[in-house]
Amino acid sequence: MESVDRIHMCAEVVTESICMLKLLEAIFAVHGTHFNLDITLQEAETIALSILKQVMEEKVTPNNVDIAKVVDIAKVAPNYHLYSPSEVEAVISRL
């Protein structure tokens, strides 16, 4: 791998890490005191996207947001379901 490719890859990782830190900061600032183990999947989806909406610079749409949920954690490599654009739109419509 050339050094330019390594620099580009590191920049992507740093950018993603900064975005995740901003998201975690918002989660604790907005919902940290409201944590509840009995939360429903629908509530979790709505909270996650509302926080994401607060930290994103552009509008939240099915074109720039992916949602996935783990459907089987019993396996060594958990299976997950990646939401379709219409499923993402349904979550966005609850905001």
CATH value at residue 30: 3.60.20.10
pTM, two decimal places:
0.61
Residue 92 confidence (pLDDT): 92
Per-residue pLDDT band at 88 (split at 50, 70, 90): very high
Q: Using the predicted structure, report yes or no on whether residue 66 has a pLDDT greater than 70.
A: yes
CA distance 42 to 33: 19
CA dihedral 8, 9, 14, 19 (to 10 degrees): 100
pLDDT of residue 40: 80
- Do residues 69 and 88 touch, judged by C-beta distance below 8 A? no
- The three-state secondary structure class of 79 is strand
Burial bucket for residue 88 (CB in 10 Å: 0-12, 13-18, 19+): buried
| Residue 88 · residue 49 · CB < 8 Å | no
Find the radius of gyration of the CA atoms of the chain. Answer: 16
Q: Assess contact for 69 and 84: CB atoms under 8 A.
A: no
Structurally, how many domains does the chain consist of?
1
Kindly report, residue by residue over 17-46, the tens digit of the pLDDT.
666 667 666 666 666 655 566 778 888 788
Residues of the domain holding 63: 3-92
The pLDDT score that the predictor gives to residue 46 is: 85
